[in-house]
Amino acid sequence: MHEIPNEEMAALWNGASGRAWVEEQSLLDRTFEPIEALLVEAVAASAARSILDIGCGSGATTLAMARRLGVAARVTGVDISEPLLTVARERAERSASTARFIRADAQTHAFEPTSFDMMVSRFGVMFFEDPTAAFANLHRAATPAGEVRLVVFRSVHENPFMTTAERAAAPLLAKLPPRKPDAPGQFAFADPDRVRNILEASGWSQVEFTPLDVQCRFPAADLQRYFTRLGPLAQALRDTDEATRQRVVRDVRAAFEPFIIGTQVEFSAACWMISARAAINRFHPR
């Protein structure tokens, strides 16, 4: 454990990775809009009127929920990244949205107790250094009938698109970091048994997993930007000489060919929709 929780993630998302996600905001929002729509529908179908969007990034899902629920609801986004939240706040101001945003680490932030009756996340909860501590902290912020709806990725093997770039680049990049099972990152919540234990140990009950296979797409013209700007390969390319970079780009682009359908890149995102409730007999794990 680091002396400061989530220190590495804070540095990552307030540095080059955060800036890249800002610059590719429209590409990412368009790609994962189907998942945003699923979360918005789940919240709209509930009686929730105080919603927390965990790891809200540049605010697309937060703003969509605020639009759908209107002034009767209080929708708040929380994220560790100042660059992404700057975009979220600008988008909220341009659209006169009632959504508000907090720059904070959801693992440790002192949320107002029992203040949210629904907590959601689109790929924002897999990066906690100590997920049990994080969900215990979030549990304290939930109302007695509070719920969570979390969309996370299933296993790396069920999401070949997501690792195509690094698999294709590995022969050319010796220092490309390997995926570590259960480590903070994209596939940290893939194992239902592990995640159930995390949630139940932090005070949540009635934990359920619903598999989702969501069809996503973006323009093929944006493919090179996608794999050179985002993800583990993007980080490795920042320290690569130009000749090697050109070979990597060529080989990776070729590896994505099976996903190119006409003018679009199309893939299935294998996800879990995780739901849970604050335990009826509430307690506050330490």
pLDDT for the residue numbered 189: 97
pLDDT for the residue numbered 96: 96
For the chain (286 residues), the mean pLDDT of every run of 10, in chain order, is 67 83 92 96 95 97 97 95 96 96 96 97 95 97 96 96 95 84 90 97 97 97 94 86 94 98 98 91 46
Structure tokens at 238: 């920042």
Q: Where do the structural domains in the chain lie, given as residue ranges?
A: 7-155+180-216+268-278
pLDDT for the residue numbered 65: 97
pLDDT for the residue numbered 1: 47
Structure tokens at 200: 């139940």
pLDDT for the residue numbered 15: 83
**What CA–CA distance (Å, rounded) separates 243 from 259?**
26
CATH code for the part of the protein at 7-155+180-216+268-278 = 3.40.50.150
C-alpha pair distances (Å), 253 with each of 27, 136, 141, 149, 265:
17, 42, 45, 35, 12
pTM of the model: 0.92
pLDDT for the residue numbered 285: 45
pLDDT for the residue numbered 284: 46
Phi-psi region of 55 (alpha: psi -120 to 50; beta: other; left: phi over 0): left
